[in-house]
Amino acid sequence: MAASASAATALAFSSLLLFVSSVFGGNFYQDFEITWGNDRANILNNGDLLTLALDRDSGSGFRSNNVYLFAKIDMQLKLVPGNSAGTVTTYYLKSEGSTWDEIDFEFLGNLTGDPYTLHTNVYTQGKGDREQQFHLWFDPTADFHTYSILWNPEGIIFSVDGTPIREFKNQESSGVLFPTKQPMRLYSSLWNADDWATRGGLVKTDWSQAPFVASYRNFKADVCVWSEGVSSCSSGAHSAGGGWLSENLDNTRQQRLKWVQRNYMIYNYCTDAERFPQGYPPECTLNTAA
User: What value, to the nearest 5°, has the Cα angle with vertex 276 and ends 275 and 279?
Assistant: 165
| Residue 70 and residue 152 in contact, taking contact as beta carbons nearer than 8 Å | yes
- Non-local (6+) Cβ contacts of 286 within 8 A are 169, 171, 174, 176
| Residue 133 and residue 289 in contact, taking contact as beta carbons nearer than 8 Å | no
70: left (phi over 0), alpha (psi -120 to 50) or beta: left
How far apart (Å, rounded) are the C-alpha atoms in residues 95 and 101? 5
The question of whether 102 is a catalytic residue gets the answer yes
Q: Which of 33, 96, 106, 274 is catalytic?
A: 106
| Residue 67 and residue 223 in contact, taking contact as beta carbons nearer than 8 Å | no
User: What value, to the nearest 5°, has the Cα angle with vertex 48 and ends 44 and 51?
Assistant: 50
What per-residue string of b and e applies to 257-277 under the rule 16 or more CB within 10 Å gives b? beebbeebbeebbbeeeeeee
- Non-local (6+) Cβ contacts of 227 within 8 A are 66, 67
Report the sign of the C-alpha dihedral through residues 242, 245, 248, 252, in that order: positive
Q: Which of 33, 96, 102, 247 is catalytic?
A: 102
How far apart (Å, rounded) are the C-alpha atoms in residues 286 and 249? 17
What is the set of active-site residues?
A: 102, 106
